[in-house]
Amino acid sequence: MTGGRSIRGEGAFWLLLLPMVAYLVIWRILPLLYTAWLSLADWNIGRGAPPRFIGIENYLRLLGDPRFHAAVKVSAIFMLVATAAEVVLGVALALLVNRPFRGQTIVQGILLVPMITSPVAVGTIWYILYNGKIGPLTYLVDRLGFGVQDWLGSTLTALPAIILADVWEWTPFVFLLALSGLQGIPETVVEAARIDGASAWKVWWYITLPLLRGVIVAAAILRAMDALKIFDTIFIMTGGGPGRSTESASLLVYRTAFTHFEFGYAAAMIMVVLALTTLLYWFYTRVPQEV
Please write down the HEC assignment for all residues of 199-224.
CHHHHHHHHHHHHHHHHHHHHHHHHH
Q: What is the pLDDT of residue 291?
A: 42
Helix (H) or strand (E) holding 49: none
How far are the Cα atoms of 76, 225, 228 from residue 281, in angstroms, in the given order? Answer: 15, 7, 12
Q: Is the pTM of this model over 0.85?
A: yes
102's torsion region: left (phi>0), alpha (psi -120 to 50) or beta? beta
Helix (H) or strand (E) holding 42: strand 41-42
- CB proximity list for 158: less than 8 A, separation 6 or greater: 151, 152, 238, 241, 242, 245, 246
Q: Give the span between the Cα atoms of 251 and 114, in whole angstroms.
A: 23
How does pLDDT run across 205-220, given as a tens digit for each residue?
A: 888 888 898 899 889 9
**In whole angstroms, how large is the CA radius of gyration of the chain?**
24
How far are the Cα atoms of 51, 88, 132, 238, 248 from residue 262, in angstroms, in the given order? Answer: 10, 40, 36, 23, 17
How far are the Cα atoms of 15, 24, 27, 180, 232 from residue 20, in angstroms, in the given order? Answer: 10, 6, 10, 29, 28
Q: What is the pLDDT of residue 4?
A: 55
Q: How many CB atoms lie within 10 A of CB 162?
A: 27
Q: Give the span between the Cα atoms of 106 and 68, in whole angstroms.
A: 45
Q: Give the span between the Cα atoms of 42 and 28, in whole angstroms.
A: 23
Low-confidence ranges of the chain (pLDDT < 50): 1, 290-291
Q: How far is CA 129 from the centre of its chain?
A: 22
Q: What is the pLDDT of residue 271?
A: 96
- CB proximity list for 34: less than 8 A, separation 6 or greater: none
Q: What is the pLDDT of residue 226?
A: 92
Q: Report all structural domains of the chain as residue ranges with CATH numbers, in order of start.
A: 65-286 (1.10.3720.10)
